[in-house]
Structure 1
Amino acid sequence: MKYSIRSENQLVDYSQSDRSPYLGILWPIPISSSTMSAASVTSSAFRAAVKGAKHWPHKSPALTKAVDNTSNLSVPPEHDLPMGTWSSEQIREAVSDSVMLTWAPGKARHNTPILTHGEGVYLFDDKGNKFLDWTSQAVCSNIGYTVPDNVIDGTTRQMKELPFVYGGLGICEVRARLSSLISSILPGDLQGMVFPSSGSEANEAAIMLARRYTGKYKVINWYRSYHGGTTNSQQATGDFRRWFGGDHVPGFVKAMNPYPLFFDLAGETEAERTQMALNMLEEQILNEGPDTIAMVQFESVVGGGGVVIPPEGYMQGVRAMCDKYNILLHCDEVMVGFGRTGKLFGFQNYEGVIPDIVTAAKGVSSAILPISVCATRKHIMDAFDDKPLGWGSTYQAHPVAMACAYENVKYLLKEDVIGHVNSLEPVFEQAMEAISNNHPSIKQYRHVGMFGCFDVHLPDGSNPQLQHTAIDKAFVEYKKAYTANGLIGLLRPPHLHIAPPLTITKEELVDGFERQDKALYVLDEALGF
């Protein structure tokens, strides 16, 4: 086979038989006149080429899987029936056809109970069963299910008068009122407010504003933590839910919690172990580079990871460390803010500590409507007078949600719900201690305010299940007994959370612990005790 090209007005032949022994190079051999005609034909194609970067002919694919994308603009008759009149079969069919779950596999929707209504601290299902809500659902229904009249009235009034204002287009009175009220009850100069729609969004806003304020980008979080399901908040999360997002968002650094799962920190006393935990954190900051770290972001009390309360002096040490290295401190109060721990905010359990940023969600509206808050200190607020925050949402500062939160917070304060929590804390403590002593499956317990957790262990003392693994059959049996005894709530083995509505009565609280006590006998047996 021959290759021809015109070079310096002479046709030359690149013959496979005349390859150089070095690198397979083809050396030019002059072409005789007898082959000129064929060579001319070959070279004519090359003469048609021009120097440049022209496109190749190409045709994009045509749509072959066309689908009818018109909509049915009529309301099917079953949707004109009053709410509450669908049969259980109709609900199950619609759920099977169109409902997706989030943190649970989709097939679980087929067995999720159909809840029809609530009253006080109780929930009712379509079969007439009555359940005591033992974890305020996701630790959020803080005043239960009998919504106070002032909350209903204030929310519906706002819906009638001005249902929506885009936050960058106008200011409504309820936004000014809620900002002022929360600023007045927060300690120190925490007074710059935005109101996203969820805890995840509030933490997303905190991360963005910390990075823009400091000009630095790293965020330090505990491994044993949860901060949300949006891109940055999920990466800030320490537990297994971070993996769902691929665990590849840069700028997040994980630190060990002061109470590790499988080892003890060095030290003879708790004070010495606390100092060791602080030394570990400071060495990590130095190795990462303080000038690269925008924020330390910790839950004031670790929630989903087992109600982990930092030891005495730890949060004060973290605050001092942030001051030393010019790093912002953010306390995530999404789960414990607005009274859960017996203080208005969880960080108030740590004397002298004021975070630079605080976020809260669930308790601000008692989950009646979706709203959260991200609050900053005044010097941070002032820094954004001449530049955007860098975070936003269409529903930030939604008037109807703010009206609900405004009236809910006033209710918490006027009815002294936090005082009620503190009055029941001794009952809570005694019940947890009695149950721990009564059941060999319980390794230990922790609580603060109306927030508690039992840790479960096996007969040999080992951990029965990590949170990211499929639920063990022993906990499946416990869940059945839990439900059979009239309790409903989240289950996060090996941790058993207790977080009833803050408005629960003493009699209801004692009753709830008695029900859990009965269910735990099933767990004892299932684990081999």
Structure 2
Amino acid sequence: MLTWAPGKARHNTPIITHGEGVYLYDDKGTKFLDWTSQAVCSNIGYDLPEAVIEATTKQMSTLPFVYGGLGISEVRARLSKLMTELLPGDLQGMVFPSCGSEANEAAIMMARRYTGKYKVINWYRSYHGGTSNSQQATGDFRRWFGGDHVPGFVKAFHPFPLFWDLAGATEEERTQHALNMLEEQILNEGPDSIAMVQFESVIGGGGVLVPPKGYMQGVRAMCDKYDILMHCDEVMVGFGRTGELFGFQNYEGVIPDIVTAAKGVTSAALPLSMTACRKHIMEAFEEKPLGWGSTYASHPVAMACAYENIKYLIKNDVIGHVQRLAPTLESEMRRLTENHPSIKQYRSIGMFGCFDAHLPDGSNPQLQHTAIDKAFVEYKKAYTANGLIGLLRPPHMHVAPPLVISEEELLDGFDRQDKALYALDDALGF
């Protein structure tokens, strides 16, 4: 069975046999350029460094598992120390769940038990996970699958609207309008009932939405003003995707109270995530339990993989590589937007980009919760025929190749997508 797609879709899903570099191969020998790092997670591609493989194998042979409630593995202490050194400010208390959903569940429980308050504010179009609380924290259609009955979650508008605009407003005015709206929500919900503001540093699945200049600084100040915790969800963009180690580091002076990450922590080689908090929050749990746990939290084999993966990112300046290639990604996205009338606009940051499609009259061809429109079926066929593989979430089309992609491979990928987009132009009636 599949998860976010109807089960019958498996009949059109390729059987992947192996990967090399930034390419995936199916059982028919077809070579695909991975254009979205699968689920924006295979950040260093498919030639894992020997150090990662050796450390993982060694950990399996010496201590394949220890339950975190019974003992502390050496690699857990080592990874905690490394992350404390890499995270800014006094972010130093951390747990290591198995996936992004679990990390965000831990963050929600942490915030509620620390503050004694219950409500959590999230953006519309955000995604925080598929488990009970994390699914209701999510701001897109996927929270409806759970019935939308879990209490305590309040949705705020992202400062980048999809269906309307503040005509004539400057970026500074748009930022202030968005902050005013958020503050009014906080006042009407009651600051004494709000435990946390939980935002993706950059909304990923919802379209690579980057907050405007000054917005995240304003959120940080507002959280301080009303004694609310600020949480940055880095599950998709953490560990280099935006050209910084963490996405929130794109916003000068912003240090969240809680940070969650996953995906890139092991470059998806093994399941692992992280929930980190500031020192005063960590100390508050010295005399009481966090209230969240998992059998496989702090799994030593996964942490051994993560430790060497993070070392590889730092020692090989993968983030610097992203920074150097980011202008090429942005210019190529502009080129394709100018070349194809079906593309309304694009956004990009680091090695993370997204196109928005539209109809000739300017309206959206579909929403994310509706069945895939036949126009995008034709586009997907052309996308695959041109040797690309990746996520498609109409009306958004993501570009997020592995962070280690070369400039030549990046340009080749855009040439392939350029050819595929002619099918979308025709199918949408341009």
TM norm. shorter chain > 0.5: yes
Aligned pair partner of 1:187 in 75, 85, 88 = 88
Q: Is 1:413–2:314 an aligned residue pair?
A: yes
Aligned pair partner of 2:159 in 229, 233, 258 = 258
Amino acid aligned to 2:340: H
Partner SS for 1:298: strand
C-alpha displacement of 1:472: 0.3
Amino acid aligned to 1:117: H
| Deviation readout 1:444-469 (Å, 9 max, x if unpaired) | 11000000001111001111110000
Amino acid aligned to 2:282: M
Counterpart of 2:384? 483
How many angstroms apart in 2 are the aligned matches of 1:101 and 1:455?
Answer: 26
Amino acid aligned to 1:359: T
Amino acid aligned to 1:275: Q
How many angstroms apart in 2 are the aligned matches of 1:477 and 1:107?
Answer: 18
Q: Is 1:429–2:330 an aligned residue pair?
A: yes
| Deviation readout 1:85-104 (Å, 9 max, x if unpaired) | xxxxxxxxxxxxxxx11111
Counterpart of 2:106? 205
C-alpha displacement of 1:259: 1.1
Please, what is the CA RMSD of the aligned residues? Answer: 0.7
Counterpart of 1:276? 177
Amino acid aligned to 1:492: R
C-alpha displacement of 1:270: 1.2
Counterpart of 1:510? 411
Query: For 1:214-229, what aligned pairs fall within 5 Å after superposition?
Result: 214-229=115-130
| % same residue | 83
C-alpha displacement of 1:313: 0.4
How many angstroms apart in 2 are the aligned matches of 1:467 and 1:426?
Answer: 29
Aligned length: 430
Amino acid aligned to 2:261: A
C-alpha displacement of 1:112: 1.1
Q: Is 1:105–2:6 an aligned residue pair?
A: yes
How many angstroms apart in 2 are the aligned matches of 1:265 and 1:376?
Answer: 36
Amino acid aligned to 2:288: K
How many angstroms apart in 2 are the aligned matches of 1:408 and 1:203?
Answer: 22
Counterpart of 2:226? 325
Relative to structure 1, the CA distance from residue 213 to residue 267 in structure 2 (aligned partners, 3 Å threshold; closer, same or farther) is farther
C-alpha displacement of 1:497: 0.1
* 5+ residue gaps, structure 1: 1-99
C-alpha displacement of 1:266: 6.5
| Deviation readout 1:410-432 (Å, 9 max, x if unpaired) | 00000000000011111111111
Q: Which runs of at least 4 in structure 1 moved beyond 2 Å after TM superposition?
A: 265-268
Instruction: Verify the 8 A CA contact 1:463 1:494 in the aligned structure 2.
Output: yes
Amino acid aligned to 2:121: I
| Deviation readout 1:209-266 (Å, 9 max, x if unpaired) | 0000000000000111000000000000000000000000000000111011111237
C-alpha displacement of 1:106: 1.0
Q: Is 1:465–2:366 an aligned residue pair?
A: yes
Aligned pair partner of 1:152 in 53, 67, 87 = 53
Counterpart of 2:279? 378
Amino acid aligned to 1:434: R
Q: Is 1:244–2:145 an aligned residue pair?
A: yes
Query: For 1:332-347, what aligned pairs fall within 5 Å after superposition?
Result: 332-347=233-248
How many angstroms apart in 2 are the aligned matches of 1:496 and 1:109?
Answer: 21
Instruction: Verify the 8 A CA contact 1:266 1:273 in the aligned structure 2.
Output: no
How many angstroms apart in 2 are the aligned matches of 1:506 and 1:457?
Answer: 29
How many angstroms apart in 2 are the aligned matches of 1:321 and 1:198?
Answer: 29
Instruction: Verify the 8 A CA contact 1:164 1:400 in the aligned structure 2.
Output: yes
Query: For 1:291-302, what aligned pairs fall within 5 Å after superposition?
Result: 291-302=192-203
Counterpart of 2:79? 178
Aligned pair partner of 1:519 in 410, 420, 426 = 420
Counterpart of 2:354? 453
Q: Give the structure-1-normalised TM-score.
A: 0.81
Counterpart of 1:392? 293
Q: Is 1:439–2:308 an aligned residue pair?
A: no
C-alpha displacement of 1:275: 0.3
How many angstroms apart in 2 are the aligned matches of 1:265 and 1:518?
Answer: 35
Q: Is 1:141–2:141 an aligned residue pair?
A: no
| Deviation readout 1:147-179 (Å, 9 max, x if unpaired) | 100000000000000000000100111000000
Counterpart of 2:210? 309
Counterpart of 1:495? 396
Larger radius of gyration, structure 1 or 2?
A: 1
C-alpha displacement of 1:121: 0.1
Instruction: Verify the 8 A CA contact 1:457 1:464 in the aligned structure 2.
Output: yes
* 5+ residue gaps, structure 2: none
How many angstroms apart in 2 are the aligned matches of 1:216 and 1:336?
Answer: 28
Instruction: Verify the 8 A CA contact 1:219 1:253 in the aligned structure 2.
Output: yes
How many angstroms apart in 2 are the aligned matches of 1:221 and 1:385?
Answer: 28
C-alpha displacement of 1:268: 2.5
Q: Give the structure-2-normalised TM-score.
A: 0.99
C-alpha displacement of 1:269: 1.1
C-alpha displacement of 1:517: 0.2
| Deviation readout 1:171-201 (Å, 9 max, x if unpaired) | 1110000000011000000000100000000
Counterpart of 2:97? 196
| Deviation readout 1:473-511 (Å, 9 max, x if unpaired) | 000000000000000000000000000000000100000
Amino acid aligned to 1:369: L
Instruction: Verify the 8 A CA contact 1:265 1:277 in the aligned structure 2.
Output: no
Counterpart of 1:116? 17
Between 1 and 2, higher relative CO (CA 8 Å, sep ≥ 6) is seen in 2
Partner SS for 1:466: coil
C-alpha displacement of 1:267: 6.0
How many angstroms apart in 2 are the aligned matches of 1:377 and 1:418?
Answer: 24
| Deviation readout 1:35-77 (Å, 9 max, x if unpaired) | xxxxxxxxxxxxxxxxxxxxxxxxxxxxxxxxxxxxxxxxxxx
